[in-house]
Amino acid sequence: MTLDVTPELLGRSAVSNCRSNAGEYQNCVGCGIRRFAVCGALAENELPEIEAIVQTRRYEPRQTIFQEGDTAHAIYTITGGTVRLQRDLPDGRRQVIGFAVPGDFIGLSLEESFTFSADMLTKGTICAFDRTKFTGLLTKKPALMHRLHAIASHELGIAQEQMVLLGRRRADERVAAFLMSWGQRMRHPNGVAVTLPLPMGRQDIADYLGLTIETVSRTLSRFFKERILLDVPHGVRVLDPERLRAVVV
């Protein structure tokens, strides 16, 4: 048994992300994103054990999944749609911690309460695992535990990269870096002009990048004018990936 996680395992398929009406899975066997999710650590004959503790839920845009401080009765795997994760300051300032897409796991820490809130940006479907039962299953399935740790480690690396972005990058670098990383999660090959769906609003991007909505808007406008990007409804088309990459350095 190895603890290494291949990029493929942690990546997401373009298919699962890009179809907005994804996530109609009646059972784990037929689940298209299983191999990208925690459940992928289990063999097919073990799936009934996880099906026993899972509940599929359907969400509407703007619906809250849980809030900071809530007791973590359940932990989640996203199977369809995009989720916004955020922390709030008492005075209204907000930091978006990340965006979760199909295959992503929420509640890695297994702790009793959540330290951030989660809201749907789009319609979506989510597998909710009873937290206590899930941790119980972990003690019986080392492979699941290993996978969970690999995912947590991967998230930690992403968080550190985000610290560099927030601490040391300029506004245009932040926006470019965001678009590149979002593009990678959408599984579009680098170096090719592609259309990126952006299910989050400008304010969400701003709160993710530690900027204001005006700065994000201005920066994108500049990229549009410079023909690095093309403005399309609910997204952008990357016209010049090379120059976009060059912005980040």
Interface ranges with a copy of itself (CB under 8 A): 1-4, 87, 89-91, 93-95, 97, 108-112, 115-116, 135, 138-139, 142, 145-146, 148-150, 152-157, 159-164, 166-169, 207-210, 249
CB atoms inside a 10 Å sphere around CB 49: 15
Helix count and strand count (H, E) for the chain: 9, 11
CB atoms inside a 10 Å sphere around CB 123: 17
Binding to DNA, residues 139-198 (CB under 7 A)? 170-172
Question: What does 157 bind: a copy of itself, DNA, none (CB cut-off 5 to 8 Å by kind)?
Answer: a copy of itself
Residues 106 and 152 sit within 8 Å (Cβ to Cβ)? no
Question: What does 213 bind: a copy of itself, DNA, none (CB cut-off 5 to 8 Å by kind)?
Answer: DNA
When the beta carbons of 149 and 170 are compared against DNA, the nearer one is 170
Question: What does 116 bind: DNA, a copy of itself, none (CB cut-off 5 to 8 Å by kind)?
Answer: a copy of itself
Question: What does 197 bind: a copy of itself, DNA, none (CB cut-off 5 to 8 Å by kind)?
Answer: none
Beta strand pairing call for 195-197 and 235-238: antiparallel
When the beta carbons of 160 and 221 are compared against DNA, the nearer one is 221
The Cα 96–Cα 116 span in angstroms is: 9
SS3 call for 144? helix
